[in-house]
Structure 1
Amino acid sequence: MTVNEQSSPLAQTLAPAPLLLDDPDWWRSAVIYQIYPRSFADGNGDGIGDLAGVRAHLDYLQQLGVDAIWFTPWYASPLADGGYDVADYRRIHPAFGTLEEAEKLIEEALEHGIRTIIDVVPNHISDQHAWFQAALAAAPGSPERARFWFHPGKGENGDEPPTHWPNNFAGDTWTRTTNPDGTPGEWYLHLFTPEQPDVNWSNPDVPQEFLDVLSFWFDRGVGGIRIDSAALLVKDPALPEVPENPGPGEHPNTDRDELHDVYRSWRALADSYPGTRVLVGELWLPDIDRFTAYLRPDELHTAFNFDFMARPWDAGELRASIEQTLTAHAPVGAPSTWVLSNHDVTRPVTRYGREDSSFAFAKKRFGTPVDVELGRRRARAAALLTAALPGSLYVYQGDELGLPEVEDLPLDRLEDPMHFRSGGVDPGRDGCRVPLPWAGAVAPFGFGPAGAAEPWLPQPAAWAGLTVEAQEADPDSTLNLYRAALALRRSDPDLGDGPFAWVETAAGDELLAFRRGDGFVSVTNLGRHPLTLPAHDEVLLASSPLIGGQLPPDSTAWLRINSQN
């Protein structure tokens, strides 16, 4: 009996949806488009993006040239953290649609040659999840509470939390419960908000439940799983404080060695299904060797490479990141991933237009100056640079339109807990989650049908020139640059996964140039002056018009070369 037959009650009755693309290595070179469901397209007119909106725009995604779409959580949730507080993995959030619609979307996307990747959040669940509600109603030491990290407090009367671990969203990591008689009770752990209690992976109910969740969705034809906060699941049961300089595997709640057994079990399940069902980890780990250990052949297929995304617009910094990433991935045989942004990160157009163009959550502040035109020029160059690197490519919705971060949202419309838990200092992540502009000259720019409710976050009036409709009519638009780049990436055998070599030029440190295969060179000018291109036969694509045959600053060109050059 296969693993999926053992763990899923549906395995006997629901055959996996057929995969129209049968390449087992599709994921090694895939272009994966991230969809934040609330903000992609509104199909029913209530101001909130939904699955009907996505289904109506599958042609757009196919024309863009993507191989897969990754959805941030679409499950039933109170949305305390944008859906990353899951109340039920087997139901779709009513604002997004129904389970039947999700099944139709997966099937229709496959008919367009596009696989679906869903988000799973194994570190925590919603405080409204049936498990946690049962735990609150149960007594200390009960089986219901054993699925979580309930613990007595320290100090007199247990008034101190069990640890002082830092919280990913600022604030406390423990919340104290109240007993039925009104007296203070045990504390429970949450590395994020109090509405997101951490589950206890030492309890056998937890790993089995998540294997069942994976089977539930693999049975419905999804092509892969993106794993949120993938390094945080396992905790040291002794609950020590975080050491000042923890060594490998010594952190009490991050990158514990036992995690590898979890992902080996997930990989075994994924491999028991027809077609390649990929596992993609969200791993924020500074040690590149610890990072790539998760990518061994029997664990995760790939993991997000956040290092490149966090680097400033600087030739030396970007080259170091590329070299470090490719060198670390080589021994485990896994492809690198390249990503410029996501639903958590300041958009590239804004980030690259700042004096400090690197990214760190702790540095986000209101009122940081930005040169949007400079940022857009650099973002276009970065798009071509990353699309030419070996491995898979992620595109966050709206980056193909060159959208900037929206930094003047009304304060009463902000929802992100990072903003509130920072005491209002951090603007939060809502600015990169504003609904997409599709058509028309005024908001809501075709986000929903005629007469639809106002979108859940307001769009800037300046986006009139950035709609899909406006950019389709402009041959030099960012949208058409992305379409051309992804079409070349798919058709050119030198691109995608494969060989890579630096090309040294007379420009030195100001120019990033590398060869892919025998006939392709990508060149990025990160200096202040136009630079002469390496010898070539043809310019295939450029992010900015050439100046007298030279590549202007903050620009990338793709070149066809003779193999003898």
Structure 2
Amino acid sequence: MTSPLTSTLEPIGESRPGSEWWRTAVIYQIYPRSFADADGDGIGDLAGITAHLDDLAALGVDAVWLSPFYRSPQKDAGYDVADYCDVDPLFGTLADFDDMLARAHAHGIRVIVDLVPNHSSDQHAWFQEALAAAPGSAARARYMFRDGQGEHGELPPNNWESVFGGPAWTRVPDGQWYLHLFDTSQPDFDWANPEVQEEFRRILRFWLDRGVDGFRVDVAHGLVKTDGLPDHLPTVDADPLTADSMGGGDEDVPYWGQDGVHEIYRDWNRVLAEYDGDRALCAEAWLPTVDRTALWVRPDEMHQAFNFPYLMTGWDAAELREVISESLRAFPAVGAPATWVLSNHDVVRHASRLALTAENPQGHGIGPDSPGQPIPEVGLRRARAATTIMLALPGSAYVFQGEELGLPEVIHLPDETRQDPTWFRTDGERYGRDGCRVPIPWVADAPAYGFSPSGASWLPQPEEWATLARSVQEADPDSTLWLYRSLLATRRAHALGTGALEWLTGYGDDVVAFRNGDVTVIANLGSEPVDLPAGTLLVASEEFDGTHLPADTAVWLTAD
């Protein structure tokens, strides 16, 4: 495996039409509460992020995306926002944010922040005002309050179900109901209300004025609901995309992917265009096809959209070739990059997911009693190969904190430590997302494996974290950490983000083989070794004899 190459990033703020930074960037997702804890309370914070910016620069990423750090009662780990323009004391202060941003920029690392426009916390001043106001008031019109059905309004307005389980409606003392597609503590805004639209323009400008480089938009496909709020129940299906309550199925869902949402992002695009430096919008939009997803990134809307059809593709060469081909057709057709992703804070980490032997619908998570338990060695080997494929593809890519260490999903969390609302709202039927959110290990022999100086950790870390800690992998050139460094440096050196893919044939049905510029990528997803062509080895996901590519292994080559 080659060592990383020295690289530099273009200056922050530089803009070249058609060559904007977000078209090719590798962006590292930081889940702040689980990244690094500087003050010892067991919850990661902004100062912890700042302390590890050198490590991120050494890894070679172009930008970071921070999950929410705003004021919040933390009923859903910060995705229930009480104040969009302040930092929760758990994570620090606005001054800490400004310091982190300035130091990231000094490293050539851009900063994207999460924005949650579908819903607020029930502790948000607006919702508290709505609860105190009468039905039909201007305060209630900011949210989705409705009268109930039945003789006395005792039944909810429709039969919608929450993504987290249970009904999507909660009744207030005066008899009205409010919509919450997620937890009861997360009331949905009414985006038909001009006051809501103007408030989010203000929020965008607040953070843009501070210097952020863009926004990842939570539930970007959910803001607009079909007029009349018609009844709908998701179809139960074995396919994890179709069964996904976030909208990845083929059916028309009255609260996902409605046409009216596009005008919201056209408006936001105009706000970002007021600022220098190619500020970016990235959509979390769970949609059934890449063609549907591409509608979010037309030239006057968002700039990126996570490629969830790619993320949800299993370890199958034919399926991978198809989704890659479709992505590289659909996204460039609207002038956007494909935006690849394998893991994030909402999905089973791909070092475990790729070794599951039973269906696992998105959001259900895995725990001790889940069917099809992953085999760790198989999962890690496939994860390394999958990343080797992904980082060779043209476009942009996201990596989730800890995947550069090969972290698996934490399966054996004690029930009493779980915190995901999904676990509680389904009475333990679904394990939820805690398993991918466990604080990451930095130093093998330090308290909390270097996550916190006190040894505290908001979710318990497994003993195996000691062998996966960054301090251990730093000294091992065959580690997953060094694989990621090599991939990122070589990707930049060979300009793979701006390249073009050419499929290669003759390698068999179980092989993914393509050329991007001067780099040939061959990945063996089958069980039998594959003969390699002559060439210079740039990077390999596993050690091998240099001639016969083993199962679950991928390589980058250049011609001699």
TM (norm. structure 1) is: 0.91
**Quick check: 2:352–2:375 contact (8 Å CA) kept in 1?**
yes
Match of 2:467 in 1: 465
Q: CA deviation at 1:288?
A: 3.0
Match of 2:378 in 1: 374
What aligned pairs does 1:99-110 form with structure 2 within 5 A after superposition?
99-110=94-105
Match of 1:131 in 2: 126
**Quick check: 1:319–1:512 contact (8 Å CA) kept in 2?**
yes
Match of 2:324 among 322, 325, 344: 322
Distance, in Å, in 2 between the alignment partners of 1:453 and 1:466 is: 17
**Quick check: 2:71–2:82 contact (8 Å CA) kept in 1?**
yes
Match of 1:554 among 541, 549, 552: 552
Distance, in Å, in 1 between the alignment partners of 2:546 and 2:267 is: 57
Distance, in Å, in 2 between the alignment partners of 1:336 and 1:328 is: 8
Q: Does 1:410 align with 2:403?
A: no
CA deviations 1:262-317 (Å, max 9, x no partner) are 00000011111001000000010114322211111000001000111111111111
Distance, in Å, in 2 between the alignment partners of 1:504 and 1:111 is: 45
Distance 1:548 1:271, change over 3 A: closer
Q: Does 1:231 align with 2:221?
A: yes
Distance, in Å, in 1 between the alignment partners of 2:462 and 2:107 is: 32
Match of 2:207 in 1: 217
Q: CA deviation at 1:536?
A: 3.4
Distance, in Å, in 1 between the alignment partners of 2:147 and 2:388 is: 53
What aligned pairs does 1:132-211 form with structure 2 within 5 A after superposition?
132-179=127-174, 185-211=175-201
Distance, in Å, in 2 between the alignment partners of 1:46 and 1:520 is: 46
CA deviations 1:73-94 (Å, max 9, x no partner) are 0100011111110000111010
Give the AA of the match of 2:212: V
SS in 2 for 1:219: helix
Distance 1:244 1:529, change over 3 A: closer
Comparing 48-57 with 368-377, greater Cα deviation is found at 368-377
Match of 1:512 in 2: 512
Q: Does 1:399 align with 2:403?
A: yes
Q: Does 1:261 align with 2:249?
A: no
What aligned pairs does 1:344-363 form with structure 2 within 5 A after superposition?
344-356=346-358, 360-362=362-364
Match of 2:531 in 1: 532
Give the AA of the match of 2:501: F
Q: CA deviation at 1:362?
A: 4.7
Match of 2:115 in 1: 120
**Quick check: 1:267–1:300 contact (8 Å CA) kept in 2?**
yes
Match of 1:15 in 2: none
Distance, in Å, in 2 between the alignment partners of 1:235 and 1:466 is: 44
**Quick check: 1:135–1:144 contact (8 Å CA) kept in 2?**
yes
Distance 1:509 1:249, change over 3 A: closer
CA deviations 1:412-436 (Å, max 9, x no partner) are 1110011111220211111111111
Give the AA of the match of 1:54: I
Structure 1 stretches of 5 or more lacking a match? 1-17, 180-184
Give the AA of the match of 2:193: N
Distance, in Å, in 1 between the alignment partners of 2:104 and 2:268 is: 24
CA deviations 1:321-376 (Å, max 9, x no partner) are 11121121131011001111100111111112222477633574543322100111
Q: CA deviation at 1:404?
A: 0.9
**Quick check: 2:13–2:277 contact (8 Å CA) kept in 1?**
no
Distance 1:75 1:273, change over 3 A: same
Q: Does 1:240 align with 2:230?
A: yes
SS in 2 for 1:158: coil
Distance 1:21 1:409, change over 3 A: farther
Distance 1:270 1:469, change over 3 A: same
Q: Does 1:481 align with 2:483?
A: yes
Give the AA of the match of 2:530: L
SS in 1 for 2:450: coil
Comparing 320-329 with 268-277, greater Cα deviation is found at 320-329
Distance, in Å, in 2 between the alignment partners of 1:244 and 1:96 is: 37
**Quick check: 2:63–2:111 contact (8 Å CA) kept in 1?**
yes
Q: CA deviation at 1:20?
A: 5.4
Match of 1:19 among 4, 12, 28: 12
Distance, in Å, in 2 between the alignment partners of 1:299 and 1:34 is: 22
Distance 1:363 1:482, change over 3 A: closer
Distance 1:39 1:382, change over 3 A: same
**Quick check: 1:249–1:255 contact (8 Å CA) kept in 2?**
no
Distance 1:362 1:462, change over 3 A: closer
Q: CA deviation at 1:251?
A: 3.6
**Quick check: 2:164–2:421 contact (8 Å CA) kept in 1?**
yes
Q: CA deviation at 1:244?
A: 8.2
Give the AA of the match of 2:199: E
Distance, in Å, in 1 between the alignment partners of 2:308 and 2:183 is: 23
Q: CA deviation at 1:200?
A: 0.3
Per chain length, whose mean CA-contact separation is higher, i.e. which structure has more relative contact order (CA < 8 Å, sep 6+)? Answer: 2
SS in 1 for 2:449: coil
Distance 1:482 1:207, change over 3 A: same
SS in 1 for 2:282: strand
Q: CA deviation at 1:256?
A: 1.3
SS in 2 for 1:156: coil
Q: CA deviation at 1:241?
A: 1.7
Comparing 348-357 with 92-101, greater Cα deviation is found at 348-357
**Quick check: 1:120–1:226 contact (8 Å CA) kept in 2?**
yes
Match of 1:62 in 2: 57
Match of 2:389 in 1: 385
**Quick check: 1:127–1:195 contact (8 Å CA) kept in 2?**
yes
Q: CA deviation at 1:242?
A: 2.8
SS in 2 for 1:116: strand
Distance, in Å, in 2 between the alignment partners of 1:358 and 1:496 is: 31
Distance, in Å, in 2 between the alignment partners of 1:194 and 1:358 is: 25
Give the AA of the match of 1:387: L
Distance, in Å, in 2 between the alignment partners of 1:147 and 1:20 is: 36
SS in 1 for 2:79: coil
SS in 2 for 1:461: coil
Distance, in Å, in 1 between the alignment partners of 2:534 and 2:546 is: 15
**Quick check: 1:190–1:196 contact (8 Å CA) kept in 2?**
yes
TM (norm. structure 2) is: 0.92
Q: CA deviation at 1:260?
A: 1.1
Structure 2 stretches of 5 or more lacking a match? 1-10, 236-246
Q: CA deviation at 1:479?
A: 0.3
* Equivalent pairs, count: 534
**Quick check: 2:214–2:279 contact (8 Å CA) kept in 1?**
yes
| Off by >2 Å, runs of 4+ in structure 1 | 18-24, 242-252, 287-290, 356-368, 440-443
**Quick check: 2:281–2:303 contact (8 Å CA) kept in 1?**
yes
Distance 1:21 1:458, change over 3 A: farther
